């Protein structure tokens, strides 16, 4: 099968040339991640192609949050279509725009709603992954608090003053929110411990803010606080956290949740519907203007959205609020709604992506192993013959195979790229998450005996 690329070949390849440098450390990190089929945490700007319209919409959302509003998007795409890469890119853009960003993957033990600590576990992960421009890898909670205290008191007064009135006054807007009083109390205790050099009390306050206390007795003995962050108040505390980072001088909070398909895989219909009810609460808050300074970006598969029995569309209230423009189709796309479907990369986009990967590979001190433009075209033609148009619709396996080919050429200097291409085995991406689904079923005790919309057993 012949690969058809619309733009002239030289224009496509010129578009892949990067004018900014890339370090050997970045190159190694990117290639190591791509080789295993995961999204690298650094250097995304070296790889980005396509998705320009979607990125423009996400920048509008980030500006809306920075302006005091709220936003919500569901990013929908097939396995291997680039959802995680897109979410990571949005995360980096938000950090560059002055927002605090936090992210987490949903798992059987981390959900937006739970009764056995699942939602609290999600809050733990989100507070652990708080990231800012100075701490892009996460772990920024303490630095955010200290920036707030410095803004409230000034550096010198923070170290000497014993009066908490300035801090209490600055935290006043939080007490208007649900659970805001407890949050403010924990920040005040952190400030006192900071002044007194009490590392134990500082650690206890951070533990409370990170939702690490399982029962109130431990929090009471450590901080003299009765309430803790449990499953019932996680969303309220996210809204309080968004207001707090605004008081600390940041532009707002962006919450990125990936692997939302794990809610679709819940066997217990009551647990699944409870999570959808919580999502409905978030959707209503954002669309009705009840939330401020916070944005949500959630990634999932088409089944998670469209399945009429177990997906979001199985919940009528969510189905009506997330309904897409009926006039839109593949050629005419409406990206203004809460659902953004990632459009397939064009073959030209994938060609540009391979050129970017080649740039990353050769910038790591391996320029002598570079392959010519002709090799990129030949490699895509090989992938097209092997798996059809899946090579650009779900490009993860194509990218992984290409990095493997470059590594093979590096390890065998005397081998030509024409000899290697025919040896590269490319298969369609068959990730369907069955293992995770089984784990969810095992995690829900008694799920087989609970009322559900699935057939539990059959005997003839």
Binning pLDDT at 50, 70 and 90, where does residue 189 land?
Answer: very high
Q: Does residue 59 share a domain with residue 109?
A: yes
Residue 455 within any structural domain of the chain: no
Residue 4 within any structural domain of the chain: no
Range with the poorest average pLDDT among 187-201, 235-249, 431-445: 431-445
| Mean pLDDT taken over the chain | 82
Instruction: State pLDDT tens for residues 270-327.
Output: 999 999 999 999 999 999 999 999 999 999 999 999 999 999 999 999 999 998 877 7
Q: Does residue 265 share a domain with residue 118?
A: yes
CATH code at 63? 3.40.50
For residues 319, 106, 340 and 239, what is the CA-based torsion angle, rounded to 10 degrees? Answer: 80
Q: Which long-range contacts (CB under 8 A, 24 or more apart) does 311-314 make?
A: 311/264, 312/74, 312/276, 312/279, 314/276
The pLDDT, as a whole number, for residue 446 is 40
Range with the poorest average pLDDT among 38-42, 100-104, 153-157, 290-294: 153-157
Higher confidence at residue 427 or residue 51? 51
Q: Does residue 227 share a domain with residue 147?
A: yes
Q: Does residue 391 share a domain with residue 320?
A: no
Token pair belonging to 365:
């001190």
Cα gap 187→177, rounded to integer Å = 15
Higher confidence at residue 71 or residue 359? 71
Residue 432 within any structural domain of the chain: no
The pLDDT, as a whole number, for residue 143 is 95
Residue 62 within any structural domain of the chain: yes
Compute the average pLDDT of residues 370-392: 78
Q: Of the residues 338, 363, 391, which one is the last residue of a structural domain?
A: 338
Cα gap 266→436, rounded to integer Å = 10
Binning pLDDT at 50, 70 and 90, where does residue 44 land?
Answer: confident
Range with the poorest average pLDDT among 204-218, 235-249, 251-265, 330-344: 330-344
Q: Does residue 119 share a domain with residue 194?
A: no
Compute the average pLDDT of residues 55-83: 92
Q: Does residue 359 share a domain with residue 226?
A: no
Residue 77 within any structural domain of the chain: yes
Q: Does residue 324 share a domain with residue 267?
A: yes
Percent of the chain at pLDDT above 70?
82
The pLDDT, as a whole number, for residue 163 is 63
Q: Does residue 164 share a domain with residue 202?
A: yes
User: Residue 386: pLDDT above 90?
Assistant: no
Residue 117 within any structural domain of the chain: yes
101 closest CA partner among 126, 83, 120: 126
Cα gap 42→336, rounded to integer Å = 29
Compute the average pLDDT of residues 408-434: 71
Look at the chain and report how many structural domains it folds into: 3
Residue 447 within any structural domain of the chain: no
User: Residue 390: pLDDT above 80?
Assistant: no
Residue 246 within any structural domain of the chain: no
Q: Of the residues 200, 231, 262, which one is the last residue of a structural domain?
A: 231
Q: Does residue 355 share a domain with residue 393?
A: yes
Q: Does residue 76 share a domain with residue 30?
A: no
The pLDDT, as a whole number, for residue 153 is 75
Q: Of the residues 231, 259, 287, which one is the last residue of a structural domain?
A: 231
Binning pLDDT at 50, 70 and 90, where does residue 161 land?
Answer: low
398 closest CA partner among 446, 354, 342: 354
The Cα angle at residue 11 between residues 9 and 14, in degrees rounded to 5: 110
Q: Does residue 256 share a domain with residue 113?
A: yes
User: Residue 393: pLDDT above 80?
Assistant: no
The pLDDT, as a whole number, for residue 9 is 42
Compute the average pLDDT of residues 130-157: 86
Range with the poorest average pLDDT among 14-18, 52-56, 126-130, 290-294: 14-18
SS (H, E, C) the chain: CCCCCCCCHHHHHHHCCCCCCCCHHHHHHHHHHHHCCCCCCCCHHHCCCCCHHHHHHHHHHHHHHHCCCEEEEEEECCCCCCHHHHHHHHHHHHHHCCCEEEEEECECCECCCCCCCHHHHHHHHHHHCCECCCCCCCCCHHHHHHHHHHHHHCHHHHHHCCCCHHHHHHCHHHHHCCCHHHHHHHHHHHHHHHHHCCHHHHHHHHHHHCCCCCCHHHHHHHHCCCCCCCHHHHHHHHHHHHHHHHHCCCCCEEEEEECCHHHHCCCCHHHHHHHHHHHHHHHHHHHHCCCCCEEEEEEECHHHHHCCCCCHHHCHHHHHHCCCCCCCCCCCCCCCCCEEECCCCCHHHHHHHHHHHHHHHHHCCCHHHCCCHHHHHHHHHHHHHHHCCHHHHCCHHHHHHHHHHHHHHHHCCCCCHHHHHCCCCCCCCCCCCHHHHHHHHHHCCCHHHCCCCCCCCCCC
User: Residue 69: pLDDT above 70?
Assistant: yes
The pLDDT, as a whole number, for residue 156 is 44
The pLDDT, as a whole number, for residue 445 is 41
User: Residue 438: pLDDT above 50?
Assistant: no
216 within 8 A of 204, measured Cβ to Cβ: no
User: Residue 450: pLDDT above 60?
Assistant: no
The pLDDT, as a whole number, for residue 268 is 92
The Cα angle at residue 336 between residues 333 and 340, in degrees rounded to 5: 65
Q: Does residue 124 share a domain with residue 269?
A: yes
Higher confidence at residue 15 or residue 282? 282
The domain containing residue 226 runs over which residues?
Answer: 141-231
The pLDDT, as a whole number, for residue 435 is 38
């Amino acid at each position: 099968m012949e690969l058809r690329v619309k733009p002239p070949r030289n224009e496509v390849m010129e578009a892949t040339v990067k004018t900014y440098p890339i370090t050997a450390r970045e190159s190694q990190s990117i290639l190591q991640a791509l080789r295993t089929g995961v999204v690298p945490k650094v250097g995304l700007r070296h790889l980005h192609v396509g998705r320009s319209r979607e990125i423009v919409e996400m920048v509008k959302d980030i500006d809306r949050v920075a302006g005091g509003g709220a936003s919500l998007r569901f990013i929908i795409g097939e396995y291997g279509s680039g959802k995680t890469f897109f979410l990571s890119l949005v995360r980096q853009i938000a950090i560059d725009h002055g927002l605090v960003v936090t992210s987490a993957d949903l798992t059987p033990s981390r959900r937006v709603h739970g009764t056995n600590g699942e939602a609290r576990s999600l809050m733990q992960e989100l507070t652990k992954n708080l990231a800012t421009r100075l701490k892009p890898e996460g772990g920024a909670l303490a630095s955010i608090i200290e920036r707030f205290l410095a803004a409230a008191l000034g550096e010198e007064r923070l170290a000497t003053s014993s009066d908490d009135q300035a801090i209490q006054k600055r935290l006043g807007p939080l007490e208007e929110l649900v659970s805001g009083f407890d949050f403010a109390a924990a920040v005040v205790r952190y400030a006192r411990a900071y002044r007194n050099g009490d590392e134990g009390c500082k650690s206890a306050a951070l533990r409370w803010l990170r939702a690490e206390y399982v029962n109130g007795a431990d929090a009471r003995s450590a901080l003299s606080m009765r309430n803790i962050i449990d499953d019932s108040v996680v969303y309220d505390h996210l809204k309080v956290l968004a207001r707090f980072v605004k008081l600390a001088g940041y532009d707002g909070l962006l919450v990125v949740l990936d692997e939302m398909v794990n809610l679709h895989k819940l066997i217990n219909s009551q647990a699944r519907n409870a999570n959808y009810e919580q999502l409905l609460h978030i959707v209503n808050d954002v669309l009705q203007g009840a939330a401020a300074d916070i944005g949500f970006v959630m990634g999932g598969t088409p089944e998670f959205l469209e399945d009429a029995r177990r997906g979001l569309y199985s919940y009528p209230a969510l189905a009506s609020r997330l309904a897409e423009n009926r006039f839109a189709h593949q050629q005419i796309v409406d990206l203004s709604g809460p659902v953004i479907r990632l459009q397939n990369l064009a073959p030209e986009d994938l060609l540009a992506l391979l050129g970017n990967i080649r740039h990353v590979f050769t910038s790591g001190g391996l320029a002598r192993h570079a392959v010519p433009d002709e090799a990129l075209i030949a490699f895509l033609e090989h992938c097209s013959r092997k798996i059809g148009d899946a090579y650009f619709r779900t490009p993860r396996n194509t990218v992984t195979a290409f990095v493997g080919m470059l590594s093979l050429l590096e390890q065998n200097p005397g081998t030509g790229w024409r000899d290697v291409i025919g040896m590269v085995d490319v298969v369609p991406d068959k990730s369907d998450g069955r293992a995770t689904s089984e784990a969810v079923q095992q995690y829900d005790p008694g799920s087989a005996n609970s009322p559900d919309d699935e057939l539990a057993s059959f005997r003839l």
